[in-house]
Structure 1
Amino acid sequence: MPIYAYKCSSCQYEKDVLQKMSDPVLEVCPECNQPTFTKQVTAAGFQLKGTGWYVTDFRNQGGSKPADSGSASTPAASSAPAPSTSS
């Protein structure tokens, strides 16, 4: 269940309320009993923990790939067969 922040525009009373998404919006301030209690817009309160997809899947994405240690150091000329010398 999400936590919603409410604030009264009459007495400035603030309260965080744990509600279901299907619950009706609170309108009456519990402090001054005025119908000026409104839901506030707040940032989401969650935190990503652990290794996560962003570390394991996209760590080297976008950069150059590391060179393979065996194939990058071998010159192309040495892998071709030597020309035969027939007389």
Structure 2
Amino acid sequence: MPTYDYECDACGHAMEVFQGINDPVMKKCPECKKLKLKRLFGTGAAIVFKGSGFYQTDYRSEGYKKAAAADSKSETKSDSKSESKSDSKSKSADKPAAKPKKKSGE
């Protein structure tokens, strides 16, 4: 739901109202109770960020980044070792197997 800006022509009271798009436009000022409230032209449906800012957990700490980098280095070492083992196995699999000797009874 969008936020709309309103201002009273009688008393000058300004406010923001969080209301739906299909809600009727407010006309009565909550301060002076006169029917002089008007909705100002503005963004209307824009997102308004209000508050103290971003959360501390939005960004990773230096310690976490170092640990992640160390883990990724250890993974690449273990991957290269497993690849070399699988390469040696595949090379032995490429050699034709020795044919079994025929038994003398056959």
Instruction: Point out the structure with the larger helix share.
Output: 2
Which TM-score applies when normalising by structure 2? 0.41
Q: Please, what TM-score do these two structures have when normalized by structure 1?
A: 0.49
